[in-house]
Amino acid sequence: MQVKFAGNPIDLTGTEIKKGQQTPDFTAVDNDLGAFKFSGIKGRKIILSVPSLDTSVCDMEVRKFNAEAGNLPNTTVITVSMDLPFAQKRWCGAAGVKNVMTVSDFKDRDFAKKYGVMMAPNGLLARAVFVVDESGKVVHVEYVAEVTTEPDYKAALAALK
């Protein structure tokens, strides 16, 4: 699969996720350097893949989903990036983000491989949104065509209904 990053084509590596498939389990690092396992989260889930929380578009996206998350019963919003856990924790505190869980894929890149979001040339994750129902089935997928733009919020949120 290919997306654009600031107008430049870039190939994504890893396995592309398709609507209707079972969600792959993945491991990452939580904000306290502990192990995070996706299968440990119950209920509906929105997974946000972002290049870095310290960029304006990622900042806007996570803040938007943070605001919406309070209105989403039985739903956990998880943001995955290559940012170090210390940076994620600092950003969440500074931004007042309390309804979104941030985890880092910096260590093993397990999420990047299993969700097909790795932009190998720059070592970052592409922008993508995955919505998962209670049974673990993917009900919405968006690999954002231009990584420097926001995702389709309405489509992601509508997939939960």
- Residue 92 designated active-site: no
CA nearest neighbour of 2 among 158, 105, 145, 122: 145
Determine which one of 50, 58, 129, 141 is catalytic: 58
> Torsion over CA of 27, 29, 31 and 32, rounded to 10 degrees?
110
Residue 100: how many CB atoms within 10 A of its CB?
22
Alpha-helical regions (H) of 27-152: 56-69, 85-95, 110-115
In sequence order, the β-bridge partners of residue 125 are: 118
Dihedral over Cα of 30, 35, 38, 41: its sign: negative
Catalytic center residues: 58
